[in-house]
Structure 1
Amino acid sequence: MTIMDKLVTASEALFDRHGFTATGMDKLTQGAGISSRTLYKHAGSKNALIARVLGERDKRFARRLEVESIDALFKGLEDWVRLEGRRGCLFLRALGETGGDTPEIVDAVLAHKARIAERIAVLVEHDTGHADAMLTEQVIVLFEGATAAAVYRGEQAVAAARQSAATLMAEARS
């Protein structure tokens, strides 16, 4: 594991657990077991590090999207919530904490959300046999809403969204 990999892994855990604002550079260096000089040498700035963490998390999450159906997509989200925790969407938390004023963070968030929307559109078309922009939007809202509601409702929020998506998909196929 490279120094950067170690830094990104430690930073993601700290940001996810404590938030971006509350996680200072001292906490990051301590968590990664590196000096502040090494941190700045490899990460550049805290905002650049946040963007890098989001990029790596996006890659991990994208693997959950490599499924063949909307139902499997929600199953992947259930697994994510169970394994990664239920603290909500790290991307939206980053956007909220930084106020949308940091271009590299905004770009990372928008790219992540666009990737999810594109994947859902593909899966809707695959599941129904045709493109359906409104159905795609409905599934996106269920997916995002389940992620947010899991914070306080747990995995049952994702299970409920999964069931709702199944109903929508069945109606679209009939």
Structure 2
Amino acid sequence: MDIRTRLISTAEQLFDRHGFTATGMDRLTKGAGISSRTLYKHTGSKHGLMAAVLNERGRRFLRQMDVDSVDELFVSLETWLVQEGSRGCLFLRAWGETGGDIPEIAATIMEHKRRLRERVNEIVAAEIGYRDDELAEEIVILFEGATHTAIYRGTAGVASARRAARYLMTVERKA
């Protein structure tokens, strides 16, 4: 594993477990087994590292969500939470810690959420045969809510959201 990959992987684990603010540079360099000079060489700043971590996590997350139905979307979310842990959306946690005030982090978060909404739109359209932005938005809200509910309910919240999504997919709508 190259240095940048090791750094991003270590930082993701530390940020996810302890938060962005509470994870200092000393902890990051020690965890990755690198010097602070090497850290800055590969990411430029802590904010650059945060954005790199979020980009990598988002890439992995969306690859996990490469499914063909809304039902499978929630199954994939459950699998993700079992594998990665149920500590809530790292993107929204980053937004909460930064207040959306750091442009490179805010842009990374907004782009990830845009991609997630578009992915859900694609899945919904493929399943019902036409694009329905309102229905897709409802599914996204259930999906995001299930992600956060998993913090204290585990995957039971995902199962409830999955049932609600299944119902929404059967409601007759105007094309």
> What one-letter code is carried by the residue in structure 2 that aligns with 1:146?
A
Tell me how far 1:163 sits from its aligned partner: 0.8
Q: How many residues align?
A: 174
Identity %: 57
Q: Deviations over 1:53-111 (max 9, x none)?
A: 00000110011121101111110000001110000000000111011111110011001
* TM-score, normalization by structure 2: 0.96
Look up the match of 1:83.
83
Is 1:144 paired with 2:132? no
Where do 5+ consecutive residues of structure 1 fail to align?
none
Q: Secondary structure at the match of 2:88?
A: coil
In the alignment, the residues of structure 1 paired with residue 73 and residue 164 of structure 2 have an alpha-carbon distance, to the nearest angstrom, of 13
Q: Tell me what 2:21 maps to.
A: 21
Do 1:54 and 1:91's aligned partners in 2 also have CA atoms closer than 8 Å? yes
Name 2:167's counterpart in structure 1: 167
Q: Could you list the per-position Cα deviations for residues 124-146 of structure 1 after superposition, in whole angstroms to 9, with x for gaps in the alignment?
A: 11111121121111101000000
Distance in 1 between residues matched to 2:136 and 2:99, nearest whole Å: 28
Aligned partner of 1:99 in structure 2 is 99
- TM-score, length basis structure 1: 0.97
Matched with 2:133 is 133
Partner of 1:112: 112
Counterpart position of 1:53: 53
Question: Alpha carbon RMSD of aligned pairs, Å?
Answer: 1.2
